């Protein structure tokens, strides 16, 4: 039905449909399931996302390695004091993103969207926007289908793997998916959704993958917190009517080429970047 962003955009325009509607049709066709079954499945995905985004907000969830944990609660407590630099919406989204990352690092249940390492970004984005704008549960479900369409295109035409394309491929894709979802949830056009998806991806192009000890904890959780903010500002840029001069498909291609040109040490091998700092090496020896 579609492999490229341009094809999905054309389908939406010629049939006067939103991204989520086309993605739903495609899923029903591919999986050979009913509309009701598909919605039930996505509701179950959303339930898991909501649980993981809230689980670490009021109690410290510590990772199996002991390397990380408790930061979601710190962020939530800080937000609740008020008078922060970024404000309630951004701080709340950051706390939720950290929460899912901490649940993941403690071997709890999360939704890999698109991967476990970047699993905090999409849930925190759609939940936070839903809360701020008093949207419906259905709006969040639609946002998830929009995000799925964007993620599928990036996976097909580039990569969503940190080991293959760096963190830009993981957290960048999650931000891109979330930005498109937010735009559509807030009534933006299909073109604006693709603009938001492009902005989120190009904003962090070149971001390397360098987890300490090869564990998906540090700096991963922090990049989920910044990733959701990236999604939100990208959605705002798009909703303001700003166009991406470079089309989405070309941004995806560029991200893939950048990933391919990254040295192996910067692609999840824990041999470069933050993982290779003296402190990163020391922690690795202690943990492993």
| Under rule CB under 6 A, residue 223 binds ligand SF4 | yes
| Under rule CB under 6 A, residue 177 binds ligand SF4 | no
Contact between residue 200 and residue 183 where contact means Cβ atoms under 8 Å apart: no
Q: Which member of 27, 152, 170, 249 binds ligand SF4 (CB under 6 A)?
A: 170
Using CB under 6 A, which residues numbered 45 to 74 contact ligand SF4?
Answer: none
Which CB, 50 or 167, lies closer to ligand SF4? 167
Residue 93 has a CB neighbour count (10 Å cut-off) of 32
Q: Which member of 209, 231, 232, 266 binds ligand SF4 (CB under 6 A)?
A: 209
Which CB, 188 or 273, lies closer to ligand SF4? 273
Question: Whole-angstrom Cα distance, residue 181 to residue 130?
Answer: 11
| Under rule CB under 6 A, residue 211 binds ligand SF4 | yes
Using CB under 6 A, which residues numbered 241 to 270 contact ligand SF4?
Answer: 268
Distances (CA, A) of 214 to 113, 163, 238: 20, 11, 35
Residue 59 has a CB neighbour count (10 Å cut-off) of 9
| Under rule CB under 6 A, residue 153 binds ligand SF4 | no
Interface mask (CB under 6 A) for ligand SF4, residues 99-128, using x and -?
------------------xx----------
Contact between residue 176 and residue 200 where contact means Cβ atoms under 8 Å apart: yes
CB within 8 Å of 146: residues ≥ 6 apart: 18, 19, 20, 23, 177, 180, 181, 184, 185, 193
Question: Whole-angstrom Cα distance, residue 285 to residue 273?
Answer: 17
| Under rule CB under 6 A, residue 188 binds ligand SF4 | no
Q: Which member of 69, 114, 149, 162 binds ligand SF4 (CB under 6 A)?
A: 162
Site of interaction with ligand SF4 (CB under 6 A): 117-118, 162, 167, 170-171, 209-211, 216, 220, 223, 268
């Amino acid at each position: 039905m579609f492999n490229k962003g341009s094809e999905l955009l054309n389908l939406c325009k010629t049939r006067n449909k939103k991204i989520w509607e086309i993605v739903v049709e495609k899923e029903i066709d591919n999986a050979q399931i009913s509309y009701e079954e598909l919605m039930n499945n996505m509701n179950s995905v959303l339930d898991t996302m909501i649980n993981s985004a809230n689980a670490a907000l009021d109690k410290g969830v510590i990772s199996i390695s002991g390397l990380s944990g408790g930061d979601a609660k710190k962020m939530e407590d800080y937000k609740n004091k008020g008078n922060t630099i970024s404000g309630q919406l951004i701080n709340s989204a950051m706390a939720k993103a950290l929460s899912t990352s901490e649940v993941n690092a403690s071997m709890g249940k999360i939704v890999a969207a698109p991967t476990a390492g970047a699993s905090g970004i999409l849930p925190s984005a759609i939940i936070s926007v839903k809360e701020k704008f008093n949207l419906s549960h259905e709006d969040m479900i639609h946002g998830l289908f929009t995000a799925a369409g964007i993620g599928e295109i990036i996976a097909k035409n580039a990569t969503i793997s940190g080991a293959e394309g760096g963190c830009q491929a993981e957290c960048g894709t999650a931000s891109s998916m979330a930005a498109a979802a937010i735009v559509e949830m807030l009534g933006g056009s299909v073109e604006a959704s693709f603009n938001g998806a492009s902005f989120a991806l190009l904003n962090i192009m070149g971001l390397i993958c360098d987890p300490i000890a090869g564990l998906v904890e540090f700096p991963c959780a922090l990049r989920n917190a910044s990733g959701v903010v990236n999604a939100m500002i990208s959605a705002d840029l798009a909703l303001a009517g700003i166009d991406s001069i470079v089309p989405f498909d070309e941004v995806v291609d560029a991200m893939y080429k950048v990933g391919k040109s990254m040295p192996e040490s910067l692609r999840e091998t824990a041999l470069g970047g933050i993982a290779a700092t003296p402190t990163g090496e020391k922690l690795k020896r202690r943990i492993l």
